[in-house]
Structure 1
Amino acid sequence: MTMEIQGQTDVGRQRDTNQDEIDFKRLDENTAAVVLADGMGGVAGGATASTVAVEAFSDHIASGNWDAEPKSTVRSAVETAQTAVNEEAKTDPKLANMGCTLVGGLVVDDTVVLANVGDSRAYEIDDEAVQLTTDQTVANELVKKGELDPGKVDDHQMSHVLQQSIGSTDDLEPEFVHQQIHGRLLLCSDGLTNELDDRQVANLGEGSPLEDACDELIDAANSEGGSDNISVILVSSDE
């Protein structure tokens, strides 16, 4: 099985700085560590939170017992990222309220072990885009309680208000995904999904090399307005 990984991050068309951060690395021939974060809490705070979280998460995965204990390695990597952001926030009053989303983990052959905090997303792309993660937002929490129709989430005023975030949530409750995938894995920030629907996400870059597919996704999001920073990571495992 051959694994390929590509990623790209872009400031978009309406922001002056990029507060997204990505990292991806191959750990062996059939295993990769991937992580993406979207910062919040002011220009300095958001960029710092995402950078610190991604570095801590990625380093923990790479140095951990990922081959024997993938689930526990990903779980502890989230805790490490949370601690790192909280500790960094203590160093400067300007960073006090910083935080970030985070989606990332391990891809082992055709199986993913992912953690999700916030509203960045993971998709399986195989003819269509199937969202693997659930946005941890106030609107989706209302759906769980039966107080909001699922079809009205995107238009709800709380659709982008986070219920969980690295650094800004004390009692962190990450979502974990462990499943086999077919086709490509996509991690992305909401700068992509705010501009493109799932059909567009599935069709863009279909059949293209991963690097070209990343370019096509980001170019399309910018063409639709590019209202936020846009980040993508694509992983493909082929026989």
Structure 2
Amino acid sequence: MLEDTLVEEDIHPEYVSAAITHAGRVRNSNQDAFVDRPAVNLWAVADGMGGHMEGDVASRKVCEALANFKFGDTMDATVTDIQRRMSHVNSVLYAAAVRPINPVQSGSTVVAFVAKRTSCAILWAGDSRAYRLRHGTLAQLTVDHTWAAQIAARFADIETDLDEDHSIMRAVGGEDILVLDVRRERVRLGDRYLLCSDGLTRELSSEQIARLLGQGTVHEAAQAMLDATLAAGARDNVTIVVIEAG
């Protein structure tokens, strides 16, 4: 491939994106939120948790914390800045949950994608996911912070009855200290990335996601995945962010 013959400094991908969210077929409210900021190459999905409107507030706070984001001098500095912003939101939500008078328990997953030229980083907590579609092959780039995923990762050869336990083990606001997992990789021209809440992955298989993510423009791909999710029942809120390096 041409991009494989060039040094990184020669490649300046233009990132284009599309984002869409929907309450789904069952929920009365939408507690998801997203960040779609191609001008600074930052995208994120947050899935709020908590009764009534608390989950909505939590996911919104996560996304608002990234509203004035600017890329740092290095990718290391940028990742540290995102971690700092998420830790601040975590402290606010956790303090509200443990205060003695009128405590409010809420939290939010987060998956964020940031890119500079051909370098990118994915940060996450919870079960909102990041995928990459490269030359027709789909790869899940995040590991869910759920009991089911952790058991599967540790005991791949042992059958358990926890496969359907999707309880969140890590989230913004869940503990006094937030730990975000971080993955870095090189972006290739033509790569498409998907950030999504579990409302999508509960309804669509990896094969369906791979097929739909590769369709048309980023806007057409996002709409196709939403339409398929709604057709499958959309039992939860669904949020989809599609990013392409062109």
Matched residue pairs, number? 230
Q: How does 1:1-239 map to 2 (within 5 A)?
A: 1-27=13-39, 31-56=40-65, 58-59=66-67, 62-63=69-70, 65=72, 69-86=77-94, 96-126=104-134, 127-146=136-155, 149=157, 156-158=163-165, 160-182=166-188, 183-238=191-246
Pair 96,71 (structure 1): closer, same or farther in 2 beyond 3 Å: same
Give the TM-score normalised by the residue count of structure 1: 0.86
Percent identical among aligned pairs is: 26
Larger mean CA deviation between 173-182 and 131-140 belongs to 173-182
Q: Specify the structure having the higher radius of gyration (Cα).
A: 2
Could you give the per-residue CA deviations for residues 68-113 of structure 1, whole angstroms, max 9, x where no partner exists?
6223223223213313433565799776210010000412233321
- What are the Cα deviations for residues 158-189 of structure 1, in whole angstroms up to 9, with x where unaligned? 2x101101102233222111112341011000
| Separation (CA, whole Å) in 2 of partners of 1:92 and 1:3 | 46
What is the aligned-residue RMSD (CA, Å)? 2.5
Deviation at 1:35, TM superposition (A): 1.1
* Alpha-carbon distance in structure 1 between the residues aligned to 2:153 and 2:228: 32
Q: 1:203 to 1:144 in 2, by over 3 A?
A: closer
CA distance in 1, matches of 2:82, 2:27: 31
Unpaired runs of 5+ residues, structure 2, are: 1-12
Per-residue displacement from partner, 1:44-78 (whole Å, max 9, x unpaired)? 1111110111111x136x14636562232232232
Listed one character per residue, the Cα deviations across residues 207-238 of structure 1 (whole Å, up to 9, x for unaligned) are 41111111100110111111100101111111
